[in-house]
Amino acid sequence: MSADLKHRILSRVQADLVAVEAALRENLGAHLPIVSDVAGHLLFSGGKRLRPLLMVLSARLCGYGGGREIFFSTVFEYLHTATLLHDDLVDGAVLRRGRKAAHAVWGNEVAVLVGDFLLARSLTIASDTGMTDVIKVIAGITESMSQGEIHQLTRKKHLDLAETEYLEIIRRKTAVLMEGACRVGALISGADERRTAALTAYGHHLGMAFQMADDLLDYTADTAILGKTVGADLREGKLTLPVIRALSAAGDDDRKTMERIITDGDFSVDDFNTLVGLLVSCGGIDAARAAAEGHVNAAKAELSAFADSPYRDTLKDIADYALSRKH
């Protein structure tokens, strides 16, 4: 199912993906070779280009005819890459997309500064729209993502992390970027308030589903497919929805076992497998998947504000793929 869905999406957007790839290289605008090297290490390591694609599809769904949607869409991949550079350093991550994390190759200082450069580059490109509303969206995204990361950092290994807190963290960390990509697509098209709001909501629900699915993969995928170490979130002390739901449903003995493993930053493979078994038996995996499915359905429902078109069909398929993907 997911392979067929992925093939269908790619068959429709292949030309746009090629154009986005070229634009990312052309518009990077780095003065120093080391900036291009560090940014490119992650930027051109096989990312899905989902965020720029969302902006392009949203703009076309709203009838945009300005011819600059590919150029403007690079904002969202630069923003995404900047956050990954910073996140990997903060989390002490070893792998990203199957490669050494940039900070492990060039050092912390360079990784941070290249991330800063990409954030600034995003704002520069956004300013070329000449639209204050677009610049506000991009600035708001950077604020939200930073606060989401800080919120998560201050609540690592806190077993009392509430589901409402988790939802706010992932809204800021992930959903606002997809939401912003869709909203900017509508804004540059001059879409009316109803359609702009619908695409904004679509992006929000897609982002929530995408992050929930990503959190599930930490317990259901393997390292070779995922491109990062399985169990990395837990080892970093991040409590995600499968764990939060399982802890709330577990009996005393199972809860104590889970708490012991979660608070042990150096848990064994056997411990991790024990935890995964408890996440399954206590309903955490199924509950998290159901929550993600709810957001997928909500995202697709927002697209009813638009007439049937290939762009709407592709956005619907992307929502379905958010949950069915393997990495």
CA 309, 312, 318, 319 torsion-angle sign: negative
Q: Which of 184, 35, 168, 14 is nearest to 113 (CA)?
A: 35
DSSP assigned state of 172? I
Q: What pLDDT is attached to residue 327?
A: 63
Q: What values do phi and psi take at 99, rounded to 5?
A: -120, 165
Q: Which CATH class is domain 2-324?
A: mainly alpha
Q: From the first residue on, what is the mean pLDDT of each consecutive set of 10 residues in the chain (327 residues)?
A: 83 96 95 94 90 98 96 97 93 85 94 96 97 97 95 92 97 97 98 98 98 92 57 86 97 96 86 94 97 98 97 97 82
Q: What pLDDT is attached to residue 30?
A: 92
Q: Could you write out the DSSP letters of every residue in 122-138?
A: HHHHHHTT--HHHHHHH
Burial classification of residue 122, based on how many CB atoms lie within 10 Å of its CB (0-12 exposed, 13-18 middle, 19 or more buried): buried
CA angle 195–170–225, rounded 5-degree value: 105
Q: What pLDDT is attached to residue 225?
A: 53
Residues 106 and 77: beta-carbon distance below 8 Å:
no
Q: What pLDDT is attached to residue 12?
A: 95
Residues 161 and 239: beta-carbon distance below 8 Å:
yes
Return the amino acid letter for 134: V
Q: What pLDDT is attached to residue 228?
A: 52
